Structure formats: structure tokens, C-alpha cells
Amino acid sequence: MTPASDLAALAALLADETRAAMCLALLDGRAWTARELAAHAGVAPSTATAHLHRLVEGRLLVERRQGRHRYVQLAGPSVAQLLEDLSARIEPRPTTPRGLRAATASAALSRGRTCYDHLAGRLGVAVTDAMTARGLLDQSGGFALTPAGGAWLTDVLGWDPAEPRPGHRPLVRGCLDWTERRHHLGGLAGAKLCETFFGNGWVTRIGSGRAVRLTPSGRAALRNHLGITLD
């Protein structure tokens, strides 16, 4: 296999609409069963199983077993980054009204959602912008956490970013947001921030998808910690 053929094989995994739909659903960071993904993609369970086998074999997904149940999820943050980066390069197409439910779901995703394990949409971008404006993030030459940002994360999250971390995941990175066309905070710090938002009840999921809703306590936290107000 050559680098070109390897790249072509990877691209072929996402060149099928059913497999692409499954991967995008898994951007919520959770593990799904084959039956759940089959229902989401609108295909038969046997068809979903065949697609998932290819995705696992191609190392985009990993399989987890719990008792008699089998679950799949994205193989890691780098796969989520790949999917988000590809999605952000798709030119928005004019859309026609698809009904109230579809329009409401689309608006909810734009307002706030999870991008694997960090916050995205207008919520994620607003948090990133506020951290940058306060000197907690430096975006002048990419994404970097400032000393003030490290102290802020320790104070707000109770997590010291200077602690040794497993693996090679970057502490902070910019993730191009596919709805806002701007960067939101990814990396380990973005994941820890998202974990805190959920753990403190500052955001809750809307239904079973990726969309999240900012709670009243979350609005208060954003005002107190970052001086921002979101509707």
C-alpha cells in the first residue's frame, strides 16, 4: 500500500452516505448500538452491521462489549477532528423549509452542541471568544493556553493543566466550527470544560442527539466566569 492508496481507502470509508451519517451521529461522543445507528441512518440492521464492520476495520470506529451488548464509538478525538474539519469545508447549500421539527433541530444544533467531547456551535464559539478576549487563550499564532488561562482552568474546573496527561492529545487546539465557520476550543482543555458544563448542570442534552441547551445556572456561570450573556 502506498500513501496515496491509503488515503484513497480512508476517503472511501466516508464516501458512502450511510457510513457518513453514522460517523456524524457518533460525534456526540457516546457509544451507540448497531440497531440505534441503523434506525438513525434509515437502513436495515444487517446493512448497518456491514457498514460498521468496514468502519471498525478502517479504524475510524472502535467496538465495545458490555455483557451481551455491542457498542461502537469514534476511535478517538483525532477522528472527531477529521469529521468536523471535513464538515466545515462543505459549502452551505440553500435549503427549503423541511417542516417545523427539522427546522427546530437544525436551530438547536447551531445554538449549541457537542463536537465529540467539547462544546461547539454558537455556545462553543462564544466561550472561546470570551476566553481569548480575557487573555486566557492566545490565538495570535494558533491556539495556546496562557498562564492566566491555566490559572483560570484550575480555579473554575479544579483541574491543573500542568499535570502530566496521557497520550499525545494537545492541551488546546482550534476546531473549525461547521455552522459558525469559526474556531471553537478543542483539545484536552476543551474536553475538561465540556465535562464541567455537564457535571455542574450548566448544559443539558436536547433529546438523544448532539444538541445541548444552556440552563439558567449555565447562563449565570457564563456571566460570572467569562462576563458573557447568551440568549
Q: pLDDT by residue for the chain (231 residues), tens digit each? A: 688 998 899 999 999 999 999 998 898 888 899 999 999 899 999 999 999 999 999 999 999 887 777 899 999 888 988 888 888 777 655 555 456 565 566 788 888 999 888 999 999 999 999 999 999 999 988 889 999 999 999 998 888 888 877 777 889 988 888 788 888 999 999 999 999 999 999 999 988 778 899 999 999 999 999 999 876
Environment class of 202 (CB within 10 Å of its CB; exposed 0-12, middle 13-18, buried 19+):
buried
Predicted pLDDT of residue 92: 59
Same domain for 201 and 126?
yes
Does a structural domain hold residue 32? yes
Dihedral, CA atoms, 55, 57, 61, 64, nearest 10 degrees?
130
Predicted pLDDT of residue 28: 81
Q: Are 210 and 28 a contacting pair, CB within 8 Å? A: yes
Chain centroid to CA 14: how far? 18
Q: For residue 211, give the DSSP letter.
A: B
CA distance 173 to 145: 9
Q: Are 44 and 35 a contacting pair, CB within 8 Å? A: no
Same domain for 63 and 117?
no
Q: Are 142 and 132 a contacting pair, CB within 8 Å? A: no
Q: In 3-state terms, what secondary structure has residue 184?
A: strand
- Would you list the DSSP string of 99-146? -HHHHHHHHHHHH-EEETTEEEHHHHHHHHHHHHHTTSEE-TTS-EE-
CA distance 162 to 156: 15
Q: Are 227 and 130 a contacting pair, CB within 8 Å? A: yes
Q: Are 185 and 193 a contacting pair, CB within 8 Å? A: yes
Q: For residue 167, give the DSSP letter.
A: T
Relative to beta strand 118-120, strand 113-115 is antiparallel
CA distance 76 to 83: 11
Same domain for 105 and 188?
yes
CATH number for 65 = 1.10.10.10
Same domain for 108 and 204?
yes
Does a structural domain hold residue 95? no
CA distance 69 to 84: 28
Same domain for 104 and 217?
yes
- State the residue range of the domain holding 56: 3-75
Same domain for 113 and 199?
yes
Give the count of beta carbons closer than 10 Å to the beta carbon of residue 55.
Answer: 24
Does a structural domain hold residue 231? no
Nearest alpha-carbon partner for 119 in 51, 191, 59: 191
Beta bridge partners of 32: 72
Q: Which amino acid is at 50?
A: A
